[in-house]
Amino acid sequence: MMLVVLGVFVTVGLFFVSANSASAREEAKRVLFISSYSYGWDTVKLQVDGIEETLPSEYVLDYEFMDTYRVNDTNSLRLFYENVKYHLNRATPYDVILVGDDAALKFAVRYQDELFKDIPIVFMGINDEDYARSVAKDPLITGVIEKLDYRTTIEVAKDVLPKADTVIAILDDSQTGQIEKKNYYKMRQNFPELKFQEINVSNLAPSEVAKKINEIPYNTILLYISLTNDKGDTLYLPDDAREMVVNNAKVPVFVLMESDTDSGTLGGAVFSMKQSSIDATNLVIDIAEGRRNVKDIEVVCRESHPFQVDTVIMQNYSINKKVFPKGTVFLNAKATFFEKYDDIIKPTIVIILISAAIIGFVLFDNYKRRKMMKEITEMKDHLENASQHDFLTGLGNRSKFMADLKEITNMDMPCTVIMLDLDNFKGINDNLGHAMGDEALKGVAGRLKSLTTPLFTPYRFAGDEFIMILKSDNQKIVENVVRQCWQVFQKPYHLLNTTMEIHGSIGVATCPQDTSDMEQLIICADDAMYEIKKEGKNGIAYYRDLKERMLQEMERQQLERQKIEEQEEQRSQEETQPVLLAPGRFLNDQN
């Protein structure tokens, strides 16, 4: 009895634990991050790192990327809007919308009433301070402004280059470039002794960009701000842009973003995109948890930033470390081995010398072992690959096909088998030789191989037969892929200095619609293919249509049998009917 009672208590306890867990999952806070750019941009990666490191693990975080650096026009904005609208209509409502950079903020404000009504919006990485502060008057909008520290950077640059009389900024006509261009020229009033100039890459042809940078004189403070595209619409990835500037500039390159340091640039008073992301994410958490009201949160704006310097670049330009302000972070500063271990080097030098021979022997022995293991592994991989691939075409062979199809069907995944047989292939071998036949097989295999995707894989089944697996039973997808397979025969083949037409017959069977059995699925595709062969070759047949015709034929035959049976029954009745010979007498009348 006690065991029964104990079991009841345990069951009830587990029920409440399960219910609480389900309730916690249902009540998890949901955050949507909309980025102006793509995840490939280094600043976006820093933003995402800051979000994911700060946001509690139980929060649900989703992403949308506008990718405005690559494409930024009305059509792309419309497509992005439709995509976001579609997802929002099918997703659980979000607690907070987090937007990164100017384009995403403008998108959120533009469609606030339609897409994000009554949902708090937190922004970060915003260059246009005036716009950010104006939209932050909305009681549902607040965030973090990206304010670059031009003043500190130029002040330190003057100490580094005391003879400099000019500041040149490298920028472009991107949204970031246009906004920062205004912020850059605002600094003229603080440095009347310097001439402020720019190299607008968007006005230069690709061949002119490097030349223009290379012409910058030595008495110049060079600021790298933004370089995404030139006059020829060449798209520069961040790493490529910095590398081009650094490789062509004769003076040290100063930067204003932390993501631009440690890449051949000297450094600067840099803005941390990751820290900005952390600040914004903390606002998101406070709002989602109800600890703070959006309308009471002031816009965050960090006015000054730590100065960072690449020690290697500093040494390359023979710059004295003392010219940099107190608190400067020196990147890549490496202490020598003797500086780090001076107090223990002498006592251990004898041990090192004695151990050197032993270590050398061990390393050499390990090297031989690793080399041997590598050779064994390579041979094993080679043999395994050879056992699963056709030596002539390079496609997977019949064994590989059967293994892959078995794996798919065992997982109860829908799929389609496409059987392809070359028409009149024997004529090619007989009339043009087996060498031409081999070339024909390789030509068809090459075109099929070019269609390979994660969903579609071709194989050489046997002889002049190819077989394909499509991991889908969607009718539109299947018909589109079959049409692509058919296209391999629509252009002539140029083989051994000979142009020739090659045709084929294609049969298609789908699992589970046609059958769920692996072996039967292959037979169905083969039956459909041979139906085309019987009807004149050079075509496509779906087993579903063949099956329908077979049913119709069975019905027709059944009707014919029924008609024959009715005729025989009628004839039988007529034979047993008495025949009248004379009035009142019949053929079977004995009296």
Instruction: For the chain, state the CA radius of gyration.
Output: 38
Q: What is the pLDDT of residues 171-193, one digit of tens each?
A: 999 888 898 999 999 999 999 99
CATH of domain 150-270+304-331: 3.40.50.2300
* Fold of the domain spanning 28-146+273-302: Rossmann fold (3.40.50)
Q: How far apart are CA 446 and CA 439, in angstroms?
A: 10
Q: How far apart are CA 99 and CA 37, in angstroms?
A: 11
pLDDT at 207: 85
The listed range with the strongest mean pLDDT (236-240, 265-269, 343-347, 353-357) is 265-269
**pLDDT surpasses 70 at 374:** yes
In three-state secondary structure terms, 18 is: helix
Mean pLDDT, rounded, for 314-332: 92
pTM for this one? 0.53
Helices 398-410 and 337-388: crossing angle, nearest 10°?
Answer: 100
pLDDT at 551: 72
Buried b (16+ CB within 10 A) or exposed e, 72-90: eeeeebeebbeebeeebee
Residues whose CB is less than 8 angstroms from the CB of residue 391 and which lie 6 or more positions away in sequence, other chains included: none
**pLDDT surpasses 80 at 342:** no
Closest by alpha carbon to 470, among 264, 383, 459, 461?
459
Q: How far apart are CA 410 and CA 511, in angstroms?
A: 12
Closest by alpha carbon to 98, among 61, 125, 123, 133?
123
Q: How far apart are CA 482 and CA 488, in angstroms?
A: 10
Q: Return the CATH number of 398-548, one of 3.30.1490.440, 3.90.1150.200, 3.30.70.270, 3.20.20.20.
A: 3.30.70.270
pLDDT at 396: 94
CA-CA distances (angstroms) from residue 135 to 138, 177, 299?
Answer: 6, 21, 10
Give the per-residue SS3 of 101-146.
Answer: HHHHHHHHHHCHHHHCCCCCEEEEEECCHHHHHHHCCCCCEEEEEC
